[in-house]
Amino acid sequence: MVAQFFWYFVFVQSILGGEICYHPYGCFDDNQPYDRPLARLPESPDKINTVFTLYTRKAKNLLLHPLFKKTASSVNFNPNLTTVFITHGYIESIKEWYVQMFIDELLKYEDMNVVFVDWSGGSGFPYHQAYGNVRLVGAQLSYLIENIRNDTGINWQKLHLIGFSIGSHLVGYAGRFLRLKGLLVPRITVLDPAAPLYEYQHTDTRIDPTDAEFVDVIHTDTNTLLVLGFGAEQQMGHLDFYPNGGYYQKGCEKLDISVTQYLVCSHYRSIRYFMESINSQYCYYEAYPCKSYEDFKAEKCSCPTEGCPVMGYHAKKPKTPLSTRYYLETRSEFPFC
């Protein structure tokens, strides 16, 4: 009886419409297209406690706040530099193993404004609550970018948003909110975008090509008939890269890693490939447009007239984007290229 009551409660909650508002970020409801089973509305900004931390070659750990209109000038934000926003995935935070490495690689390449978005107060279990919280944090990020633009200014053509896993959809929301205000983000990069509750859903609920002038996607842990991956197989950008077919990355089959590492190895390879691409001087992840991975392995694919695109930090939007997938091979260990 208790179990029956529980599932009845869940069912009723899932069909009842709701709305919640958080000034000045706006209102959020669970009507279509956000009416996914068990999906929740965003928790409050106080609960999520999003932290925006700025790093440059001259300073680090400088805090920005989306509600403080002079937040950029208070930390001597340099509007002439490239500005990159990075965010993490599910059940993660700024303390993840890759965060400082990621920031260091970017600052090694050039002096820039690197802002890490830590929403760990809202990224935890259960997943369907994190799904709801992504919407609010995306709004917070868009609001912060607007404040910086209005305060010190920002080199808009050098603005770049990067998201991993469920954070991919977070930066997509930020791009969408800005686009609705007439501001189109130049580039969004998503690293193995999360599949659960997002794949093959309405474009308003996930990252898609309209969220930025250029959206590039790296798929490394997609679903197959034999393995359930964390990442989405669906094409979601202008350039969708599928290294090693996009579903099982070389080197992740080693038996000397833990079960946890085994399960997430391919998922995190998207980060490793991207980080390696930033300062690589001798090797580029050149990818070929192909109908399938099988065709790619059979060498049935060739580069377009303007050449094959490269995956990673130095990816460029092709002059004539093709509605196809781009395949490439990697090595099984670092250097992967």
CA distance 136 to 141: 9
CB 99: neighbour CB atoms within 10 A?
18
Q: Report the SS3 class of residue 1.
A: coil
* Cα separation, 67 vs 142, whole angstroms: 11
The active-site residue, picked from 192, 208, 211, 240, is 192
Per the annotation, the verdict on 267 as an active-site residue is yes
Q: Is 209 helix (H, G, I), strand (E, B) or coil?
A: helix
What single string gives the DSSP state of each residue in 52-89? EEEE-SS---EEE-TT-TTHHHHTT--TTS-EEEEE--
Interatomic CA distance for residues 267 and 247, integer angstroms: 9
- Give the end-to-end CA distance of the chain in Å, rounded to a whole number: 57
| 192 part of the active site | yes
Q: Which of 138, 187, 141, 190 is nearest to 164 (CA)?
A: 190
Cα gap 183→185, rounded to integer Å? 6
Give me 174's structure tokens. Answer: 């930020």
Cα-Cα-Cα-Cα dihedral sign, residues 57, 62, 68, 74 = negative
Residues constituting the chain: 337
Task: Could you list the beta-strand ranges (E) of 42-193.
Answer: 51-55, 62-64, 83-87, 113-118, 159-164, 187-191
Catalytic residue among 165, 266, 270, 277: 165
Given 216, 266, 267, 270, the catalytic residue: 267
Q: Which residues are catalytic?
A: 165, 192, 267
